Amino acid sequence: MHTMPPEDRLGPIVEFIERKTLKNVCSIGSKFPFLSAGGAYQASSPSAWTAGFWPGLLWLIHQQTGDPLCRETAEACELQQDEVLQQFVELDHDMGFIWTLTSLASYKLTGNSESRRRALAAASHLAGRFNLKAGIIRAQNDRTDIPGGNIGITIMDCLMNLPLLYWASAATDDPRFRHIAEAHTDSALERLVRPDGSTAHVARFDPWSGQFLEVRGGQGYGADSAWSRGAAWAIYGLALGYSYTGRPDYLEGARRVADFFLAQLPASRIPGWDFRLPDPAGQPWDSSAAAIAAGGLIELAVHVPGAEGLAYQQAAADILQALYEICGTQRDDGEQGLLLHATGNYPAGKQVDVPLIYGDYFFAEAVLRLAGRPFLRFW
């Protein structure tokens, strides 16, 4: 275990993140990078679930440096997403990921009234996906390759979309948004978080009766496995839920998953893509899971008193240091990604052992927050 104060340990990492992002903004511009191949980030659509992470990263760096190009580029990304918001048909539950890190971040930092309007519109659309009978927010849109369809499916990731609803409730003095966020969290906590702190990825309900039907492996190895990024979403999402509601069951759930996650980590502090594999030898890591979990542990530490909270903060610092030393690209100017060795969807054979933009975002967010730099939480 490292004992040096986090702010002292993280100074070189902050410098690396700022330097590489300021270089990247000149070459990437207002595109929507997703994964890096051959050293260069490949662009995705403004409607992709990952479309908020690049502008979100730019807003983080703008907070630190005041760099005008970061702000201008983030605002240009936000404008491109207007068509997506207006068309509606491409929207799914990841509106929270997209507009929290673009419009809501912009409004919090600049007071832009148009950004506020966009964030409220996205929150309204997100609330419209709520299934009253099942108590869930529906995840993706129609897909023919999912047995039984996906109208009644929700996934662990959605916990990170809910802060947009909590914000909208406060911004409009309307409790409906918060009611939906809490109802969804209750269902996720009951159906996706196991007593031992491990988590499932997918829960399926009958969309008409609301009856719970099954859990599925999703992007994890199987229905009974423990996909590491799913656990990271749960730590962060439940800790954020507690920050907005003060509900003890959310805090207890976050602690339970955090304790499980930390107990499964290898000595390197970089998790494999799933904690429960028949043969874990040689399986790829997921640096993005580590980065997300670090952010969740930092949030959790704020709400847990005494030695336990300090232990969560120390664990986050150790993970971030390991990410920098093992996965960081500080010595590779030919690589745009900040972190190597992320795994997106191993069962589908997609995005395996590559830099991923959301891993970079959460790494930067956690480092800047723990280092005590100017930090306004977007979630």
Residue 357 CA to residue 238 CA, distance in Å, equals: 23
Alpha carbon distance 88, 121 (integer Å) = 11
- For the record, the structure tokens of 251 come out as 């805090």
Give strand pairing partners of 350. 345
d(C-alpha 215, C-alpha 203), whole Å: 4
Of the residues 92, 94, 318, 360, which is catalytic? 94
Q: Give catalytic status of residue 94 as yes or no.
A: yes
CB 179 within 8 A of CB 135: no
Question: In this structure, is the dihedral angle defined by the CA atoms of residues 110, 114, 115 and 117, taken in order, positive or negative?
Answer: positive
Structural Rg of the chain based on CA atoms: 19
157 labelled catalytic: yes
Residue 90 · residue 84 · CB < 8 Å: yes
Select which of 92, 157, 318, 360 is catalytic. 157
Phi, psi of 111 (to 5 degrees): 75, 15
- Residue 364 near residue 55, CB atoms below 8 Å: no
Residues assigned a catalytic role: 94, 157
